[in-house]
Amino acid sequence: MVVVGGGISGLSAAWELSGGADGPSASTPRVELIEDGAVVGGSLATTHFAGRTIDLGADGFLARRPEAVDLVRELGCDDQLESIDASGASIWLRGALDELPTGLALGIPTSSGQLKSVRGLSWRARLDAQRDEHAPVRMKIGDDATIGEIVRTKLGRELCYQFVEPMLGGIQAGRVDDLSAKSVFPALLEAARQGGSLMRAMRASGPIAPGPSTTTNTGPTFYSLLAGVGSLPIEIARHLRERGVVIRTGVAVTALRRTPSGNYPWEIDTHATTTPADSVVMATPAPVTARLLGANDPALARLGNVPSASAAMVTFSVARDAVQLSASGTGILVPLGTAWSGDGSMMVTAVTFLDRKWPHLRRDDDVLLRAHVGRIDDLRWTEMGDEQLIARVIDELNVLLGTFTSPNDALVQRWPNALPQYYVGHETIVSDARAAAAPLGVALCGNAYDGVGIPASIGSGRRAGREALEMLHFSYR
């Protein structure tokens, strides 16, 4: 059994293949995981910065979905779980910061009263919200619609692009006008289908996490790990090796070949080796899977049509007395296209107060801030070197925070093509690809299939692991 790709999805698949929570048994197959990167983890990685270990990519995960928490517990790492220590956020509207009201449903207001305190919204936006409560716009919805189509129609352009998009589009660096409500925010589609007030329907659906409703609604909202979320893949890999799983890093899979007349139905090539396999778990980004498997079926080739967004994050350590942050909140959201005194619109889409969120990062003399740049349609940062990008972000932070000069240290981390976009029709691409892959003895997983984010990716990997085990009982030749 071979797993291609050692991000959190591939590692979770290998965990399941090697016995999951129960551990290996007599029937556990030989498992080999092949990862292109120098280390396992994909978008989960840590580094040393400003005297602490920080995450370079994802820095927390939803606690209200079970997948990540369950896996951490199965690894025996419960003592590493750290609850988020801040809540709320601000949004930059009309040149000033406004606190986001509580009770939003993933960015969607649930009553017009909530918006009273948001000074940066126009009277028009407030009227649009009141209209939704008292005379909601009728909207015909078919099988799916974009998030933008729904929010713009029901709540107006300003609330859609200035208020909802910064939060919702930010999750996967996409645009609400492209993202499928069915795939990304099914509760929104359901609320719009009810035909009345969108805000009332969202309010009735209760607290919401992105993706399918496998959530519980008690306890903390987000967790990190004391050694960083990037320590999770390292810990899984350590357990997998103890279970006898072979993990090869720094090796790209270059081809997968069907060998119907051989002893094994598949051969997996790297530049130097060929591994035979009964079945394969593909945990690579969708375009890589399309390139490696597309010749077997047009539905697998169509995975190459799943777009992905690139983003970068600039992390700063700055003396505590050199910056003045809002009294509370986890950070700041910046609507796309926000005008400022510098060149073009602002590039920063969000600022995270890292050490306010996670107590293990706190120190007396400095604070850790992270600026996020880049969207599917904003690649200006890719044309800048690190120093130029840092200088640009400092200029923007000077505006957003009032003053921000002379950070002690700065670090740029770029994430090319790391965030798949779920457009309308995505579900069909995924279900067709899985239907084509299964008879070949191939299970597909990763954040292009079952949702973006750590819990969804873990769930996706474990599902693929179970599917691959079932495939062992059939013949695929």
374 binds ligand FAD, rule: CB under 6 A: no
How many Cα atoms sit within 13 Å of 87 on the Cβ side? 8
Is 419 a binding residue for ligand FAD by CB under 6 A? The answer is yes
Closest CA to 303 of 435, 468, 146, 477: 435
Helix (H) or strand (E) holding 96: strand 96-99
Q: Which is nearer to ligand FAD, 225 or 367 (CB)?
A: 225
User: Is the C-alpha dihedral spanning 199, 201, 202, 206 positive or negative?
Assistant: positive
> Rule CB under 6 A: is residue 314 a binding residue for ligand FAD?
no
Q: Which is nearer to ligand FAD, 241 or 477 (CB)?
A: 241
Q: How far is it, in rounded angstroms, from Cα 231 to Cα 46?
A: 7
DSSP 259: -
For ligand FAD, the closer of residues 141 and 379 by Cβ is: 379
Q: Is 415 in the site for ligand FAD (CB under 6 A)?
A: yes
Phi, psi of 73 (to 5 degrees): -70, -40
Using CB under 6 A as the binding rule, whether residue 348 contacts ligand FAD is answered as no
DSSP-derived 3-state class of residue 85: coil
# residues contacting ligand FAD (CB under 6 A): 36
| The residue type at 470 | E
Q: By the 8 A CB rule, do 98 and 119 touch?
A: yes
Q: Of residues 248-287, which lie at the interface with ligand FAD (CB under 6 A)?
A: 252-253, 283-285
The span of 6-14, 23-31, 155-163, 256-264 binding ligand FAD (CB under 6 A) equals 6-14
Residue 465 lies near ligand FAD (rule: CB under 6 A): no
- Does 4 bind ligand FAD (CB under 6 A)? Our answer is yes
Q: How far is CA 286 from the centre of its chain?
A: 15
d(CA 127, CA 243): 61
Residue 118 or 247 having the CB closest to ligand FAD: 247
User: Which positions from 40 through 99 interact with ligand FAD, judged by CB under 6 A?
Assistant: 42-44, 57-61
Report if residue 101 touches ligand FAD, rule: CB under 6 A.
no
Considering the complex, state which of residue 42 and residue 109 has its C-beta at the smaller distance from ligand FAD: 42
- Judged by CB under 6 A, the residue of 36, 98, 355, 467 near ligand FAD is 36
Q: Distance between terminal CA atoms of the chain?
A: 15
Q: What is the DSSP letter of 138?
A: P
**Sign of torsion over alpha carbons 315, 317, 323, 324:** positive
CB of 247 to ligand FAD, least distance (A): 11
Q: How far is the CB of 251 from ligand FAD (least distance, A)?
A: 7
Q: What's the closest the beta carbon of residue 364 comes to ligand FAD, in angstroms? A: 26
Q: Which is nearer to ligand FAD, 63 or 108 (CB)?
A: 63
Matching residue, tokens 């903390």? 220
User: What is the dihedral angle through the alpha carbons of 459, 463, 469, 474, rounded to the nearest 10 degrees?
Assistant: -170
- Does 454 sit near ligand FAD (CB under 6 A)? yes
Among the listed residues 75, 431, 465, the one whose alpha carbon sits nearest the alpha carbon of residue 238? 75
Interactions with ligand FAD, residue window 424-443 (CB under 6 A): none
Interface residue list for ligand FAD (CB under 6 A) = 4-10, 34-37, 42-44, 57-61, 252-253, 283-285, 288, 311, 313, 415, 418-419, 446-447, 452-454, 457
